[in-house]
Structure 1
Amino acid sequence: MPDHDPPSLARRFRGYLPVIVDIETSGLSPSEHALLEIAVVIPEMNSDGDLQISEIHSTHVKPFPGARMDPAALSFNRIDPYHPFRFAVDEKEALAKIFQPVRAAVKRMACTRAILVGHNPAFDISFLNAAVARCGVKRNPFHPFSTFDTATLSGLVYGQTVLAKAVQAAGFEWNNEEAHSAVYDAQQTARLFCAIVNRWKDLVAIEKSNANGLFR
């Protein structure tokens, strides 16, 4: 019989499933500017208790009627909102496409709810909540205001708060040409989050081992 329970993602974050989210938009105002891209990365915990990327889901989104387009924002993320090859879907369909696998993962991993993980996540959750309200979505799997911020965590662990620098400080490569797409930024943020969580787990294990050694 094992002398401890197997690793559980549900127990690690008080019942929450951390889901990494990145959103690209047509500006800075959630009520006025459009959500144009959304990507989510769902992690899982392996048998050693390490967090790793499990699923990636993304979609391009059509601007909601009357949405404002800030040229500076579109120049920054290099998105043409009305390009036919984006194969974008309406906001309500986009949310359904993203929320379905998140709900399934919450259930599969015996969690109670998803919690948004982002790099400066106040931006992402404000746009997500605005889209949920516009579309009248009743079953938002994400906590409405609690988040995990990898900018703060990276500042603590690596002394870096800019995503590109934090990712590199964690030992991963960064490609400026791919940056500012929702999928790329979500994947890189997920790698960063997993690295920080796993590093903390290893530090706790070392501390426990050292403490046990002192009392033998």
Structure 2
Amino acid sequence: MSDEIEIIPLANRFRGFLPVVVDVETGGFNSRKDALLELAAVILRIDEKGELSRYRTHHWHIEPFPNANMDPKSLEINGIKPFSPLRLAIPEERALNEFFKVVRKELKLNRCNRSILVGHNAPFDLNFLNAASERIDCKRNPFHPFSTLDTVTLGALVYGQTVLARIAQAAGMGWDGEQAHSAVYDAEKTADIFCHIVNTWQTMDAAMKSVTD
């Protein structure tokens, strides 16, 4: 059997929700008007000890939708050249359909009811995902429409930090500023931080229970 069949389901860990770590790169801050240019998603798995870890990263370069706005300042920060043929970008509809297919497969494997977006400033990513889903008239968006799990909140709680780079450094993970603001790098760092905090909490919770028993 493959590991696709023998996985330990996540169904009971987050109340039936499947956490999927998402990072988007865009042409601005307005999810309705600005282009969605890049999407990365990290699939998580849980082991027999109940610890989360990164399993697989999926990544899409996306063509700007018709008449999309692209702020030069945003493009300067993320370094994206939207119309460069080297991007090998694909239409928004194809990218989202492929992404949602991956998530729906994971939902079934993990016996979960719905996916929940994990991100850093997660509402930003969810808003762009929802806006793109509406543009392509998607009827099967597997994500909860407004609930998220945000490493900004978790980082503030655990480390007193809200900036992704500072949380990573506080957690002893290091940070490469040159790779930052690429969807894959930011998504994987966010995933590592999320898993680390969840796993640390689980270890502490187990230790406290053993003391009180």
Matched residue type, 1:160: Q
Q: How many residues align?
A: 206
Q: Deviations over 1:183-211 (max 9, x none)?
A: 00000000000001001100101100110
- 2:3 aligned partner: none
Give the aligned CA root-mean-square deviation in angstroms: 0.9
- Mapping 1:125-204, distance limit 5 Å: 125-204=126-205
| Secondary structure of the structure 2 residue equivalent to 1:175 | coil
| Secondary structure of the structure 1 residue equivalent to 2:12 | helix
- Mapping 1:49-198, distance limit 5 Å: 49-198=50-199
User: TM-score of the superposition, structure 2-length normalised?
Assistant: 0.95
Return the alpha-carbon distance in structure 2 between the equivalents of residues 102 and 186 of structure 1: 15
Return the alpha-carbon distance in structure 1 between the equivalents of residues 101 and 175 of structure 2: 30
Structure 1: gaps of 5 or more residues = 1-6
Return the alpha-carbon distance in structure 1 between the equivalents of residues 82 and 98 of structure 2: 19
CA drift at 1:40: 0.4
Matched residue type, 1:156: L
Matched residue type, 2:99: I
CA drift at 1:182: 0.4
Structure 2: gaps of 5 or more residues = 1-7
- 1:3 aligned partner: none
Question: Quick check: which has more Rg, 1 or 2?
Answer: 1
Return the alpha-carbon distance in structure 2 between the equivalents of residues 171 and 45 of structure 1: 22
Return the alpha-carbon distance in structure 2 between the equivalents of residues 139 and 74 of structure 1: 30
Q: Is the 8 Å Cα contact of residues 23 and 119 (structure 2) preserved in structure 1? A: yes
User: TM-score of the superposition, structure 1-length normalised?
Assistant: 0.94
Matched residue type, 1:48: K
